[in-house]
Amino acid sequence: MEMLGKIFSRFHPVAWGVIIGTFFARAGFYMTMPYLAIYLHEVKGLSPELIGTILATSFLVGTLASFFGGTLSDRVGRFPVMVVSMLGWAGVFALFSLADAVWAFLVLSALSGLGRNVFEPTARALLTDITPCEQQLSVFNARYFAINLGAALGPLAGVMLGSAHSTLPLLITAGIYAVYGVGVAVLWKVYGEPKRQGSGERVSFAETVRVVFQDKVFGLILLGNLFVYSAYAHIETTLAQYLGSAPGFVDGVQIYTYLLLTNTISVVLLQYPVIHFTKKWSALRALTTGGVLFAAGLWGFGLFDHLFLLILAMIVMTIGEILCFIIGDVIIGQLAPENLRGAYFGAGGFPFLGQSAGPWAGGLLLGWLGFGQGPLVFGILMLLTLLAVPCFVGAQRRYRQEF
């Protein structure tokens, strides 16, 4: 009990609430959404191109909403934005279970992206608000651990509940999100809105845009992340379609589940060793290395058809994920002025344009080249991912000049 008390005293109670809620929310997300592409193809009979468009809609709308949601949280507070967006997201998943027409899936996919990308940057800004600078890497490490623990259990639950053919998991996820939204409201009531330096200043939206997007280092990081996020999106979309339909895979759904499980277990096991190994590196060097590993792992999905080699490719990609995503959040928190932290984290969602373009491009390549052309399809996607490298190198050079 004493040890448990020490663990929970390490971070602010609100931070623990967000971390625990993140675990359950991600478990629900990965119980349903990764299998949506398979569900739409096998149950609804939609083409790869149309499925890619539906999934891309979520990323596109989310990208456009992210900056406005983060900026709104700077003005009205973190908690109200988080409560409304999470409860709205719960409603979207409930409606997903009732949808049948293509237009309904398009609209709900858009609303799902809206809820996710308004909530996520606001939650990350809140964690930065309530956590001392020297503990921020640790708190984002803990959050990322929760994300991947949920992502490890979610797909297993999805398989057991038949997410590729059933709507029950969607209703379960809706319930999880509703409970999380109520939990955030309780934390708001108990602890109140965190005080931030400069939070009383009324900065216009135009001034916010000017400050954020004139930050050259931040801009180059965003551009590089555009290509990295595109690569990550293929795990949930293009890879699922490819393994589910490509010749040579007898049970693609099961293989896909193994790869998702590999991804999440690898993050849990490798997260702290990787961060420890690279702690003497500059943050931007870590981002650059992560981009290269992302590209290499992505190509491996198209090159290999043996489960062991596919798992190896996923491990390589996972190390890139650890470097890019954990370090990326810390960098944004350090670059952002306190009174514009929500706007910076919101602008950090603009690389989700890559997650919008990724499923669309992946669907087009599979439709044009065919499911039997894995090396070519994923080779093209690898080259697109490598465009992140010169962006991160440029950001590192400019950072040295300015700081």
Level-2 CATH architecture, domain 11-402:
Up-down Bundle (1.20)
Residue 119 has pLDDT above 90, yes or no: yes
Summarize pLDDT for 190-236 with one digit per residue, the tens. 988 877 654 555 566 677 777 777 888 888 998 899 999 888 888 87
Helix (H, G, I), strand (E, B), or coil: what is residue 77?
coil
Mean pLDDT of 329-351: 80
**pLDDT confidence of residue 207:** 73
Mean pLDDT of 308-324: 93
Structural contact between residues 197 and 339, judged by C-beta atoms closer than 8 angstroms = yes
CA 3 to chain centre: 32
Structural contact between residues 292 and 386, judged by C-beta atoms closer than 8 angstroms = yes
In 3D space, the residue among 22, 223, 48, 32 whose CA is nearest the CA of residue 112 turns out to be 32
Mean pLDDT of 71-92: 92
Residue 343 has pLDDT above 90, yes or no: no
Burial of 185 (0-12, 13-18, 19+ CB in 10 A): middle
Task: Record the pTM.
Answer: 0.76
**pLDDT confidence of residue 23:** 95
Q: Measure CA of the first residue to CA of the last residue in the chain; give whole Å.
A: 45
Structural contact between residues 66 and 349, judged by C-beta atoms closer than 8 angstroms = yes
Q: Which residue has the tokens 């001034």?
A: 207
Structural contact between residues 52 and 363, judged by C-beta atoms closer than 8 angstroms = yes
**pLDDT confidence of residue 3:** 46
For CA atoms 81, 87, 91, 94, give the dihedral sign: positive
**pLDDT confidence of residue 247:** 79
Integer Cα distance of 95 and 93 in angstroms: 5
